[in-house]
A and B are shown apart, each in its own frame.
Chain A
């Protein structure tokens, strides 16, 4: 079974600075998808970024980018120019590309605090 590990329960960063959240995963599959979801105090789960395992190029979405290291099974999220609205729980998630396994497997989350 696949597992996702986020080793940083909490992180903090100064406003306008850059922060990197770590995620590692364990799988025997070669084709899969990785996601970062953000959960602000409202508890809504918001998709931040998605990465397909077959793509070598790291995904980027505005101030958010990932460092995908397939061999190391690592998938970190970099937030540039941190803003107060970035404060939230961040969850890393894995999804198999197999048609029989569509569920998301989540890590335990990292709580990100932005210091003004």
Chain B
């Protein structure tokens, strides 16, 4: 157990819908990262937050957004969902925002029908 928690574990929804994925980092970790794992794209970095502020953006679609709250948990919002958004979404955390190992949560498996 990495200490990073993610809810829900599984999510099934329909195209056009909106969902929110939640992540709680390890105790003491200030940085949160979101990754998407899909069959065709592999593991890709989406976005990073550090102590409530956006720090880096990767291949995140405009339909996706995220935020980190004062208690350091983070939420990834996915809207206008498409079939291709079906994937495993990981949250990872680290103590600081650089030179630190990232520890991954168990992931949220999203299926868009």
Contact = CB atoms under 8 A, between A and B. Distances in A.
Contacts of B42: 106-109
Given A33-B99, A91-B43, A102 B88 contact: no
Given A43-B106, A44-B106, A47-B101, A101 B56 contact: yes
Interface in B41-75: 42-45, 48, 55-56, 58
A71 to B, nearest CB: 23
A19 interface: no
A98 B2 CA distance: 25
B25 interface: no
Contacts of B107: 43-45
A contacts with B: majority SS: loop
Interface residues on A, range: 20 to 34
A103 B43 contact: no
Contacts of A109: 42
Interface in B5-37: 31, 33, 35
Contacts of B103: 47
A103 B58 contact: yes
Interface of B: 2, 31, 33, 35, 42-45, 48, 55-56, 58, 88, 90, 92, 94, 97-99, 101-104, 106-107, 109
The 7 A-B residue pairs with the shortest CB-CB distance in the complex, in nearest-first order: A45-B104, A103-B45, A106-B43, A99-B98, A44-B106, A108-B42, A102-B98
22 contacts: A42-B106, A43-B107, A43-B109, A44-B2, A44-B104, A44-B107, A47-B101, A47-B104, A95-B102, A102-B31, A102-B33, A102-B55, A102-B97, A103-B56, A104-B35, A104-B45, A104-B102, A105-B45, A106-B42, A106-B44, A107-B42, A109-B42
